[in-house]
Amino acid sequence: MAIDYDKIMNWPFEEVVQSYDTRDSILYALGVGLNMDPLDEEQLRFTYEDNMNALPTMAVVLGTPGFWVKDPDSGIDWVKVLHGEQGMVLHKPLPPAATVTATTKVTEIIDKGEGKGALLLQERTVTDQATGDKLATLYSTTFARGDGGFGGPTTGARPVHSLPEREPDMVCDLPTLPQAALIYRLSGDYNPLHADPNVAKGGGFKAPILHGLCSFGVAGHAILKSCCDYDPSRFKSMNLRFSAPVYPGETIRTEMWKDDNVISFRAKVLERDVMVLNNGRADVG
């Protein structure tokens, strides 16, 4: 069953209403590895409810539409989909507790050709229900490896951010816990690939892998620490490409280049010397 371009472009996403509290914000922060040092008071602002802040990257888990590509009517070979890119623009700092509404839409489907897959570009807007303030706009690209050649547009992908050719200006090493995926999944992504060893082996991995969005959060932590002095109001946007999986327990090294308010970055795991995040760009204040 091939992708029906018009059907996917007009997919009937329902508005999502989600309430979260400080416990959820703390759980998210712990899931991406904050307070490995429980005496670090800068990080404690995100893991202790007294005058706490929410991590900026928590926006990616708010108001998600779920794994909608698994719907048979989509025509998408959901077993072969991968999370290719993720971006976010923050319009205001996230409150540590709120009720939000979110709307999702597909903005383009790019046909890479028979046997080469397709790209699904999506956009999600998250709004504070109480104030009406727009909190964040999320952008993602799904790589549907089994769905190329359906006759759709062949151009329209988001531009790739090029990294500077000089040595990084800053490097930040952040460890992940062996049980990191089991904690992070409690923020809403219960894919068994991140918990069940048998499912992971069936997918070609030696063990359950870390969620891509958890790696996204670790890199966001590195930027918040290195470039924003842990002030979430200075964190404006972030986008990147996923290039390889991370295993829980590995150390993620984020390499950063600062050019005025633009932070270019990439990340690799030290234990295997493998690049896991690439072509990253963040804007800071």
212 in catalytic set: yes
Terminal-residue alpha carbon distance, the chain: 47
What gap in Å lies between CA 4 and CA 126, rounded to an integer?
A: 27
What gap in Å lies between CA 127 and CA 59, rounded to an integer?
A: 11
Check 128, 152, 183, 194 and give the catalytic one: 194
Check 8, 189, 223, 252 and give the catalytic one: 189
Are 239 and 87 in contact, with CB atoms under 8 Å apart? Answer: yes
194 in catalytic set: yes
Q: Which residues of 141-171 are buried (b: 16+ CB within 10 A; e: fewer)?
A: bbbbbebbebebeeeeebeebebeeeebebe
Check 63, 152, 212, 217 and give the catalytic one: 212
Q: Identify each DSSP E strand in 43-183 by its residue range.
A: 81-90, 98-111, 118-128, 134-144, 170-175
The CB-based long-range contact list for 4-10 (8 Å cut-off, 24+ gap) reads: 4/75, 5/109, 5/150, 5/151, 5/152, 7/73, 7/74, 7/75, 8/74, 8/75, 8/76, 8/106, 8/109, 8/120, 9/106, 9/108, 9/109
189 in catalytic set: yes
Check 110, 209, 223, 263 and give the catalytic one: 209
Catalytic residue numbers, as ranges: 189, 194, 209, 212
